[in-house]
Amino acid sequence: MKFGIVVFPGSNCDYDCQHVLSVVLSQETEMLWHESHDLKECDCIVLPGGFSYGDYLRTGAVARFSPVMESIRNFIEEGGLVVGICNGFQILVESQLLPGALLPNQKGHFICRHVHLRVENTDTPFTRLFYPGEVISIPIAHHQGNYFIPHSSLSNLQKNRQIIFRYCDIDGQINHATNPNGSIDSIAGIISSSQNVLGMMPHPERSSEAVLGSQDGKRIFLSIIQWWEEKHHAK
Amino acid sequence: MQNNEQIQVARELGLRDEEYQRILDILQRPPTPTELAMFSVEWSEHCGYPHSRRWFELFPREGKFPVLVGEDAGGIVYQGQAVVFKMESHNHPSQVEPRQGAATGIGGIIRDIFGSGARPIACLDSLHFGPLDNARSNFIFKGVVDGIAFYGNCVGVPTVAGELYFHPSYQGNCLVNVMSIGIASQDRLAKSWAKGKGNLIIYAGNRTGRDGIGGCSILASQEFSEQDEKRPSVQIGDPFTEKCLIEATMEALATGFLVGIKDMGAAGLTCSSSEMAAAGKSGVKIYLDRIPVREEAMEPWEIMMSESQERMLLCVKRGYEDSVLQIFHKWGLEAVVVGEVVDGDNITIEFNGKMVADIPAQELTKPPVYTPPAEKPAYLERINHYDWNDLPLPNNWNEILLKLMASPNLCSRHSVFEQYDHMVQINTSMLPGTGTVILRVKNLPWGIAVTTDCNPVFCYLDPYRGSQIAVAEAARNLAACGAQPAGITDCLNFGNPQKPDRYWQFIEAIKGISDACKFFDLPVVSGNVSFYNESPTGPIHPTPTIGMIGIIEDVQKAVNAAFKDFDDVIVLLGETRNEIGGSEYLRVIHQQEFGPAPQIDLSAEKNLQEFLIDAVRQGLVQSSSDLSEGGLACALGEGCICGQEKKGCLIDIGNLPNIRLDALLFGESCGRALITCKPENFATLEKLARTKTIPFFVIGKVTRESLNIYNNQQSLISVSIEDLWKAWYRTL
């Protein structure tokens, strides 16, 4: 399977994702430069974390206008798989490829630490290797990860099972104290209604090797690979 | 300009009259305004080290691993990989404008690292502020942390470790020492010279503005006085540009077309151009009107002195300039050819067809050397002969432990390091907060352990011994996780060197560091001196910050300080002496600061370190931490609560030396460590300790809940883990 990793000026998790996908998971990878429309026939596109274009304006607000995002929009419409991690998630909501918005953290500053997540929906290409309600550990590192969506749309997300990850404690309990950034409904990651676009604030590439303390993130990538291979073989 | 008038200008730029005279001798004519400006920055304390340079000769430059000593950053070589590191101060800018001061400090040190050809993989910060209950100190503390987060997070280099220390001596003059570490295949390191007639000089990165003019000569090389308005000397950082500059520079280096490269930091274009010329024993000509500027009508001397951030100077093989320029342009950066390598050995600056400076580069980069009088400070006599037998022994030891665990110098630092992205680049295999931080090296089994250390109170009580302790403690810190100490960088923070007592402290510290390093076979690969750290409230405590890296052969085997399993045996290693001088206990509980600083036995330290490394390598150890501030009791407290799962412990100190109880529990004797092991490994561990003649005391075991310390079965301390955690976790 071939993964494309987008490189914006200011991306800083691009090579982390590349390391996990190519070295840890032995997949083919391509770095996709922001100024190019060419997605190089990749099967899944990763929008990595970082500070695209410096993010001096609203996070992701500039990146959405880049040439590569035009191609990604078409790629999504054709059913291609896209994962937006952290800044990638911010870019996806700015581009309205995912609903909602990411506001500054409630505490007003950057937070980097391991958090527990509860997997809310495992019937997706991204989460099929988890079991429903499983509690996993993946780190966050962001300044603007406070997910917001109006209540009417929130109930749609809930109804359509688009909420994929929610912040919780080690036992899977969700409450105010387990919410690191103030996200509505403790949302950490969502999926598009078309099921092919995942946006999440936590960094799965940071928890994909035993030496880094957790391998829970790796299973997201493994889910994608398994899903794609099944589909591919079916063809 | 008249001579008298020019002497006046020279003085305002921070030059001494005899330095002005020397300039006349070098040039055989009066200097132009641009030349005068260039000399003033290049010969400033911050760039030229006139008061400190001669002492660096004392430092050992060889160690267990091959050593690289450079001007901008040095390093060690392990298995063909160069690990490059350096520490630098940004004290005065941070005192004046905390956020930008700290941010640009990070930017500067990172440029030193990638300018050497190594990719920056981590930063550490050693921060010292006045007490938190002082509003201004609190403001500076918050601003500095915010500045580090602002710059470090965006630039994509993890901020993984460091120190945070509060003490009244830093109230008028904070310390912000930043260290960066990079890694490169040894054969890919870059030179910082300009060479080869006809080769071209390229300027890349940010535009040059009027920011930071005189940053090094005016701001960093003078004391703070009451009414100064020095804000205009602080630069503004742009981490996004720096991030692009890192990527573009790494790409440009990979082409093989670069002859040399140097960052523009302190003293900006003056320093980079003249030092590249001097290093290459070449002449360099710069066409100053080609430099991209931010404002119109900038004077030549302003362009030469500006400390605008995120700029690099490159020497590129003629004929290949377009491919190099293209790389920078691709990253959205400005890059232009601004000069060339010429015959001779002068640095020549032309502006709109007119020669504005023409100086022998070797002379410009050879600042004067001063050795002012040094005199042992009078205070030492007074504070080192205190009879502490009269000091009352506390009656509620629980309260003392909780108070110390909650004190700003000992409590949890999570609220600070969680504001830094300490995981980006996915190398941080041992995270901050639970012991020594370790960076794995991708695709290789080994890793790099990193630390910074200095106890300023010990250095105040005895600069020589305090500096030795700083080196020993840093090494012990690395050994505790299983890493072999490999090399140091230092950031020497002192007061005004023209005051004899301050200069004496400085010399003693240098001797202490170099003697300890020689003993431990540790090279000093790079460093920085920051003088004039004084304010109207007085000088800072002497603070020779030691940055150290170590090599751990197998990152999988590393251990941290957190207690692991119930019934693990808790062992105290090393001798606990009847010492209390300079301790946190003395300061926090008794509000006293007196000596003597703890004794240090370098050979016992060395034995202990070798034992720790060996024990970890053999997999005999479950947890390990060195003992420092807060002594035995606080190390036990941290062992219980710093891990993911909290534990308790049951301790009896009955078989430890019979000394005052406060010294036993909270004294800060050197050369000690606290380890735990599985019961089945105990015999092997004890035997190993005996062969290395390590004082070895079994003091208890890991339990399910609460920290209990007995003295011959009589309860001294009994604290619930919840209370301990609350005290430790919530201060900052």
User: For residue B46, what pLDDT band results from cuts at 50, 70 and 90?
Assistant: confident
Helix/strand/coil (H/E/C) assignment for every residue in chain A: CEEEEEECCCECCHHHHHHHHHHHCCCEEEEEECCCCCCCCCCEEEECCECHHHHCCCCCCCHHHCHHHHHHHHHHHCCCEEEEECHHHHHHHHCCCCCCEEECCCCCCCEEEEEEEEECCCCCCCCCCCCCCCEEEEEEEECCCEEECCHHHHHHHHHCCCEEEEEECCCCCCCHHHCCCCCHHHEEEEECCCCCEEEECCCHHHHCEHHHCECCCHHHHHHHHHHHHHHHHHC
Task: Give the mean pLDDT of A179-191.
Answer: 98
pLDDT confidence tier of residue B4, bands split at 50, 70 and 90: confident
A211 touches chain B (CB under 8 A): yes
- Beta B67-68 vs B74-78: how paired, if at all? antiparallel
Q: How confident is the model at residue B73 (pLDDT cuts 50, 70, 90)?
A: confident
**Residue of B423, B428, B446, B448 to mutate, interface with A, max A Cβ within 10 Å:** B423
Q: Quote the CA–CA distance of B482 and B618 in Å, as a whole number.
A: 10
How large is the average pLDDT for residues B339-364?
Answer: 97
Residue B387 CB contacts under 8 Å (≥ 6 apart), including other chains: none
Is B149–A110 a contact, with Cβ atoms under 8 angstroms apart? Answer: yes
Beta strands B623-626 and B696-703 are unpaired
Of B238, B419, B440, the CB nearest to A211: B440
Q: What is the pLDDT of residue A58?
A: 85
Residues in chain A with CB shorter than 8 Å from the CB of B153 are 51, 110, 112, 141, 143
Task: Among A55, A141, A213, select the one facing B421 at the smallest CB separation.
Answer: A141
> Within an 8 Å CB–CB cutoff, is residue A14 touching chain B?
no
Determine the distance in angstroms separating the CA of A180 from the nearest CA of chain B, rounded to an integer: 11
Strands of B317-466, DSSP E: 334-342, 346-351, 354-360, 428-430, 437-440, 447-453
CA B624 to chain centre: 24
In the predicted model, is pLDDT for residue A18 greater than 80? yes
Taking the CA atoms of residue B618, residue B623, residue B629 and residue B631 in that order, the dihedral angle to the nearest 10 degrees is -100
β pairing state of B200-205 and B175-185: unpaired
What pLDDT does A68 receive? 97
Quote the Cα angle for A16-B619-B445, to 5°.
Answer: 30
Task: Determine whether the interchain pair B418/A111 forms a contact, defined as Cβ–Cβ distance below 8 Å.
Answer: yes
Average pLDDT of the segment spanning B520-530: 96
What is the rounded CA–CA span in Å between residue A49 and residue A60?
10
Cβ within 8 Å of residue B355, ≥6 positions away: B348, B349
pLDDT, mean over chain B: 95
Q: Is the CB of B326 inside 8 Å of chain A's CB atoms? A: no
The closest CB to that of A51, out of B154, B247, B442, belongs to: B154
Residues in A closer than 8 angstroms to B441, CB to CB, are: none
Q: Does A96 touch chain B (CB under 8 A)?
A: no
Q: pLDDT category, B408, cuts 50, 70, 90?
A: very high
Question: What percent of chain B stands above pLDDT 70?
Answer: 97
Whether residue B117 contacts residue B81, with contact meaning beta carbons closer than 8 Å, is answered with no
The span from the CA of A213 to the CA of A31, in Å, is 27
Nearest in space to A187 (alpha carbons), one of A81, A125, A115, A114: A115
Determine, for residues B419 and A109 on separate chains, whether the beta-carbon distance falls below 8 Å: yes
The residue type of B253 is: L
User: Are the CB atoms for B324 and B335 separated by under 8 Å?
Assistant: yes
Q: Residue A85: beta bridge partners? A: A200
Give the nearest chain A residue to B432 (CA atoms).
Answer: A113
- CA A85 → CA A41, A153, B28, distances in Å? 21, 22, 63
Confidence band, pLDDT 50/70/90 cuts, at residue B215: low
- Average per-residue pLDDT in chain A? 97
Task: Map tokens 């030795």 to a residue.
Answer: B468
Question: In the structure, what pLDDT confidence band is assigned to residue A109 with cuts at 50, 70 and 90?
Answer: very high
Are B423 and A110 an interchain contact pair (Cβ–Cβ within 8 Å)? Answer: no
Q: State the virtual CA torsion across B484, B427, B158, B438 in degrees, nearest 10.
A: -20
- The per-residue pLDDT for range B448-486, each reduced to its tens digit, is 999 999 999 999 999 999 999 999 999 999 999 999 999
Match 């003078």 to its residue by tokens. Answer: B222
DSSP structure string for B493-517: E-S-TTSHHHHHHHHHHHHHHHHHH
Residue of B nearest to A110 (CA): B419
Chain A residue numbers with beta carbons less than 8 Å from the beta carbon of B247 are: 9
pLDDT for B414 equals: 97
On the question of pLDDT at B702 being above 90, the answer is yes
Instruction: Measure the CA–CA gap between B562 and B566, rounded to whole angstroms.
Output: 12
Q: Which of A49, A9, A28 is nearest to A228 (CA)?
A: A28
Distance CA(A222)–CA(A128), nearest Å, equals 9
Q: Does B554 touch chain A (CB under 8 A)?
A: no
Q: How far is B548 from chain A (nearest CA, A)?
A: 22
> A212 CB near a chain B CB, below 8 Å?
yes
Q: How far apart are CA B381 and CA B376, in angstroms?
A: 10
Amino acid at A183: S
Residues of B in contact with A112 (CB under 8 A): 153, 417-423
Tens digits of per-residue pLDDT, B669-688? 999 999 999 999 999 999 99
CA A152 to chain B, closest CA, distance in angstroms equals 33
Q: Do A9 and B442 touch (CB under 8 A)?
A: no
Say if CB B184 and CB B81 are below 8 A apart: yes
Task: Tell which residue, B582, B600, B602, has the closest CA to residue B592.
Answer: B582
Q: Tens of pLDDT along B85-130?
A: 999 999 999 999 999 999 999 999 999 999 999 999 999 999 999 9
Best probe of the B interface among A112, A203, A212, A221, by most B CBs < 10 A, is A112
CB atoms within 10 A of CB B383: 18
Per-residue pLDDT tens digits for B280-292: 999 999 999 999 9
Residue B638 near residue B483, CB atoms below 8 Å: no
* Among candidates A16, A20, A143 on the partner chain, residue whose Cβ is nearest the Cβ of B425: A16
Distance CA B551, CA A114 (A): 26
Q: What is the pairing mode between strands B119-129 and A101-103?
A: unpaired
Task: Write out chain B residues lying below 8 Å of A12, CB-based.
Answer: 154-156, 243, 424-425
- Cα separation, B178 vs B150, in Å, equals 15
Contact B429 A203 (CB under 8 A): no
| pLDDT per residue as tens digits for the range B122-164 | 999 999 999 999 999 999 999 999 999 999 999 999 999 999 9
| B555 touches A: beta carbon within 8 Å | yes
How close does chain A come to B408, measured CA to CA in Å? 21
Residue numbers in A near B414 (CB within 8 A): 113
B421·A112 Cβ contact <8 A: yes
Please indicate if any CB of chain A lies within 8 Å of the CB of B661.
no
Interaxial angle between packed helices B321-330 and B239-255, expressed in degrees from 0 to 180 and rounded to the nearest 10: 150
- CA separation for the pair A94, A65 (Å, rounded): 10
Write out chain B residues lying below 8 Å of A53, CB-based. Answer: 240
**B510 vs B519: CA distance, rounded Å:** 14
Distances, alpha carbon B331 to alpha carbons A34, A40, A195, B144, B326, in Å: 11, 21, 34, 29, 9
Identify whether the C-beta of residue B451 lies closer than 8 Å to the C-beta of residue B436: yes
Global confidence as pTM:
0.96
Per residue in B190-210, pLDDT (tens digit) is 999 999 999 999 999 999 998
Q: In chain A, which residues have their Cβ closer than 8 Å to the Cβ of B244? A: 9-10
Give B230's pLDDT tier (boundaries 50, 70, 90). low
CB contact under 8 A, A143 and B153: yes
A110 in B contact zone (CB under 8 Å) = yes
* Nearest Cα to Cα of residue A114 among A212, A218, A24: A212
User: Hey, which residues of A are catalytic here?
Assistant: 86, 203, 205
CA distance B152 to B122: 10
Provide the shortest C-alpha distance from residue A56 to chain B (in Å): 9
**What torsion do the CA atoms of B404, B409, B413, B416 make, to the nearest 10 degrees?**
140
Would the pLDDT of B228 be above 60?
A: no
What pLDDT is recorded for position B537? 87
Torsional sign, CA B200, B204, B210, B216 = negative
A113: contact with B, CB 8 A cutoff: yes
State the pLDDT at residue B195. 97
| Nearest-Cα residue of chain B relative to residue A205 | B426
For residue B262, list its beta bridge partners.
B313
Q: How far apart are CA B189 and CA B183, in angstroms?
A: 9
> So what's the pLDDT on residue B386?
84
Nearest to B482 by CA among B574, B575, B609, B603: B609
Structural domains in chain A plus CATH codes = 2-234 (3.40.50.880)
What pLDDT, on a 0 to 100 scale, did the predictor assign at position B216? 59
Task: Please check the confidence at residue B227 and state whether its pLDDT lies above 60.
Answer: no
Q: What are phi and psi of A202, to 5 degrees?
A: -65, 155
The Cα–Cα gap between A8 and A32 comes to 9
Q: Given the residues B90, B92, B167, B541, select the one marked as catalytic.
A: B90
What residues contact B268, with CB distance under 8 A and at least 6 apart? B41, B208, B212, B304, B305, B306, B307, B308, B311
Dump pLDDT digits (tens) for B542-567: 999 999 999 999 999 999 999 999 99
Q: Kindly report which listed range (A6-20, B6-20, B213-227, B654-668) carries the lowest average pLDDT score.
A: B213-227
The answer to whether B349 and B299 are in contact (CB under 8 A) is no
Task: Output DSSP code: residue B537.
Answer: T
The answer to whether B332 contacts chain A (CB < 8 Å) is yes
Q: Which residues of A touch B440 (CB under 8 A)?
A: 211-212
Amino acid A57: pLDDT:
85
Yes or no, beta carbons of A112 and B423 under 8 Å apart: yes
pLDDT at B589: 97
What would the mean pLDDT of A140-156 be, rounded to a whole number? 97
Which residue is it, tokens 């078989």? Answer: B655
Q: Give residue B287's identity as a one-letter amino acid code.
A: Y
Q: How far apart are CA B84 and CA B68, in angstroms?
A: 8
